[in-house]
Chains A and B, each alone.
Chain A
Amino acid sequence: MNAALVLHAVELMLGERRLIGPLDLSVAPGEIVTLMGPSGCGKSSLLGYLCGTLDPAIRGAGRVMLGVDDISILAPERRRVGILFQDDLLFPHLSVAENLAFGLPAAIHGRAARRARVEAALSEADLEGFADRDPATLSGGQRARIALLRTLLAAPRALLLDEPFSKLDASLRDRIRHFVFEHARLNDLPCLLVTHDPADAQAAGGRVFEAGTSE
């Protein structure tokens, strides 16, 4: 019942230099599309444009649709586009449970109900008992999983992945990749992955595009 993420003639310009596009792309619910490109080619900026946090120095144009909704005119917090970055960016001043509750929509009322949702998410990810931990005391793999849970608890309609595996240990990378992709499919989310690591693209197992054949 989720909608596809559709890009219409999306392009990014830095001054007179074209970073990306014009790009037409449709990502179906549950599909993972990979955008490959060297660092600095503007693929992270593309994700910034999709979720509304583009660096103001870069001009973006083109429509971004989720089903019939044009989200490119919405403020970032109204787009319901989840994103995972290279770093987990768990808020250091909040506990694990508070980080997750930050993502949870306010529509879920009541302290107990919210706590229950958070606990359920943790146990589903084999992280029972971590609710009151300080994020700084967790391992990289645990933090990465919690970052994904936080994003999913916000009930996104699409998922963007900004090289989220590049800083993980090689031994962890496979497991976290699997964890993220599985959740994206389970939640039936259209998912756009940008990376420079061919192994990521291979693991995603979907369509692969080359971005910004850089000058």
Chain B
Amino acid sequence: MAAPLQRLIPRKTMLRHAPSLTLGLFLIPIGAGLIGTWLPAFGYLPALGGAGLDLESWRRLLTHPSLPAALRLTLTSGILASVLSLALVIAFVSGCHGTRLYHRLHRILAPVLAVPHVAIAIGLAFLIAPSGWLARLISPWATGWTTPPDVATVNDPYGLALTLGLVVKEVPYLLLMTMAALGQVQAARRMAVARSLGYGPVVGWLKTVLPAVYGLIRLPIYAVIAYSLSVVDMAMVLAPATPPPLAVLILRWFNDPDLSLRFQAAAGAVLQLLAVILVIAVWNLLERAVMRLGRRWIVGGRRGGGGGAAAMAAGGAMSLLFAAAGLSVAVLGIWSLAGRWRYPGAFPVDMSFATWGRHLPGLSWAASTTLIAGAVAAALALALALACLENEQRNALRTTNRALWLLYAPLLVPQVAFLFGFQVIAVRAGIDGTWMTLIWSHVLFVLPYVFLSLAEPYRSLDERYARAARCLGASPNRVFWRVKAPMLLRPIAIAFAMGFAVSVAQYLPTLFAGGGRFVTLTTEAVALSGGGGRRVAGVFAFAQAALPLLVFALALGVPAWIHRHRQALRSAP
């Protein structure tokens, strides 16, 4: 007796398979990669003569003299960076929501996010090193230094430089996710109620908005934890080398000419995964404890004051952080142009494009590889995300919580924990070192960001436009191409730019899935940061930062130009 709904929806086989295709694309490499890593961890890797199952690699891993220090460094820097990032974001949003600073930072968030980790790391190193720009700017008049002081501000044994780098990179991400969540929990209305009951702006926010927002940013927080505990590229620039954090140590073993080290490397990769799982599990327990205590605090009745001082401190800290990101990119540009630059001069004596010119061939080669991989990966991810969202809308489906966890899987599983296995299997399948495998590995990390950035605008587009178009005789496909896609041009372009930026930033996937055959701006920048000289490292790192920024500028500019005569779309978010 129900209407034959199925007959109303033209069957689009391709589209119907979009979600499963997407999940398969995700889960197969991660699942296979994990297994391909676990087997050698227990001694099984026939290609290298490991035929049995034993615990030899674990014995060698656990008795390795560098392991305790490496593990300690990983845990301290990773946990500290996560806690600091979250604390800063909560302090800033609770204290500064609605202020001019808040809106200004909101506007520059996306471009700041687009700057790859490695560029930030190298720029930060050029900034805070004893011979870095900050020291030069205040020397010798304020410090009296005429030679760099002998203090380890970069590669320090406690990993503080790495922690700072992680915070600079993770805070904008958490901030973006938090700001997006605010709209979903109707923060303004909650605040209006709290304020009318006499609560101060900061305490009111913490008591009425945060509990709702936290649930929505929980997965992003876990992603930050997982990333901070397993970061490789930033650590190679900012962390100490002897011993390095666990993930870098593992990578060294994987790349060692002595192939037998790969067994203990695989065991290390398993340990890395366990460390991430353990920290997230403990974090989850603490969450519950804080929630229980917080509930008591919420109903305790304390109203809080104006919160002016706290807001100022948080706003100041956040401004400093964004300034650090901006200065990092700026100092890369300056070093890339620098001729002679004697310590402690604030600026180079002369500047030219000489370094750029000298490295033009290598630079353009790396840049084109980066551009192709990024553009194809972002376009593929965009197509998949759009197909999933369109399928969801046509069949009136809801994304479940479990699907969201799967979407986050590539961001929660440490890269080093499965990329080796992915490479082993790619070699077996004869597809290692191909463009396809390289781009596939990038799509894995690009897709979650593209999907998350697109989902909100896609779902909140007034569905009555589509209905009106259907009733005017347009098929679902025509509605998509002629109504939805053009109306969503701006968010679609931004999602593409976001995906492109994520692809550009990929270091480990390029290394492993590319079989070492692909040189991108990122792999070059990391390689050069280890002692290629600041000028040439500046060239590659600046180019690495500039490319995503350029694509972002296009993503904002092109839709604005196309819709220049369309008021309603120009003012749209």
Contact = CB atoms under 8 A, between A and B. Distances in A.
Interface of A: 48-49, 51-57, 59-61, 72-83, 85, 87, 89, 91-95, 102-103, 105, 134-137, 150-151, 154
Contacts of A81: 471
B468 A83 contact: yes
A-B interface, 6 closest residue pairs, ranked by CB to CB distance from nearest: A92-B568, A136-B567, A76-B470, A136-B568, A56-B396, A93-B486
B7 interface: yes
Given A91-B487, A137-B567, A53 B470 contact: yes
B398 to A, nearest CB: 11
A92 B1 contact: no
Nearest to A47: B471
Interface string B472-515: 11110000001100110100000000000000000000000000
Contact of B472 (A61, A85, A134, A151): A151
Contacts of A74: 8
Nearest to A150: B472
B497 to A, nearest CB: 20
A77 B2 contact: no
A92 B483 CA distance: 9
Contact of A59 (B2, B465, B569): B2
Given A73-B7, A74-B8, A151-B472, 15 more contacts: A60-B2, A61-B2, A73-B8, A75-B7, A75-B8, A76-B470, A85-B464, A91-B465, A92-B568, A92-B569, A93-B487, A102-B469, A102-B472, A105-B473, A134-B568
Q: Is the interface of B mostly helix, strand, loop or mixed?
A: helix
A77 B563 CA distance: 27
Contact of A93 (B4, B7, B563): B563
B2 A89 contact: no
B567 A134 contact: yes
Contact of A92 (B7, B396, B487): B487
A89 B464 contact: yes
Contacts, number: 99
B566 interface: yes
A154 B569 contact: no
B438 to A, nearest CB: 36
Nearest to A49: B3
Interface residues of B, number: 33
A87 B470 CA distance: 16
B5 interface: yes
A77 B487 contact: no
A53 B467 contact: yes
21 contacts: A51-B471, A52-B470, A55-B396, A59-B1, A61-B3, A75-B9, A75-B475, A76-B470, A77-B473, A78-B473, A79-B471, A80-B473, A82-B472, A83-B468, A93-B487, A93-B566, A105-B473, A134-B567, A136-B567, A136-B568, A154-B472
B471 A82 contact: yes
Contacts of B475: 75, 77
A61 B3 CA distance: 5
Centre residue among A48, A52, A91, A137 by max chain B CB count within 10 A: A91
B257 interface: no
B10 interface: yes
Nearest to B396: A56
B8 A76 contact: yes
Nearest to B5: A56
B565 interface: yes
A63 to B, nearest CB: 10
B474 A135 contact: no
A52 B566 contact: no
Nearest to A13: B2
Contacts of B10: 75
Interface in B344-365: none
A77 B471 CA distance: 5
Given A80-B473, A82-B471, A89-B468, A134 B566 contact: yes
Interface in B1-32: 1-5, 7-10
B391 to A, nearest CB: 14
Residue of A51, A76, A80 with most chain B CB atoms under a 10 A cut-off? A76
Contact of B482 (A55, A95, A102, A135): A102
Contacts of B3: 49, 54, 59-61, 72
Given A93-B569, A134-B567, A136-B568, A52 B468 contact: no
B566 A103 contact: no
A80 B7 CA distance: 17
Contacts of B568: 92, 134-136
Contacts of A136: 566-568
Nearest to B487: A93
A57 to B, nearest CB: 8
A7 to B, nearest CB: 13
Nearest to A50: B471
Contacts of A102: 469, 472, 474, 482
Nearest to B563: A93
Contact of B483 (A60, A83, A91, A151): A91
A100 B1 CA distance: 38
A134 B464 CA distance: 20
Nearest to A88: B468
A38 B8 CA distance: 29
Contacts of A61: 1-3
Contacts of A82: 471-472
Contact of B471 (A73, A83, A105): A83
Interface in B538-566: 563, 565-566
Contacts of B8: 52, 73-76
A77 B482 contact: no
A154 B473 CA distance: 7
Contacts of A49: 3
Contacts of B7: 73, 75
Interface centre among A54, A87, A92, A105 (most CB of B within 10 A): A92
Contacts of B474: 77, 102
A53 B471 contact: yes
Contacts of B464: 85, 87, 89
Nearest to A95: B565
Contacts of B489: 93
Given A89-B464, A93-B486, A103 B567 contact: no
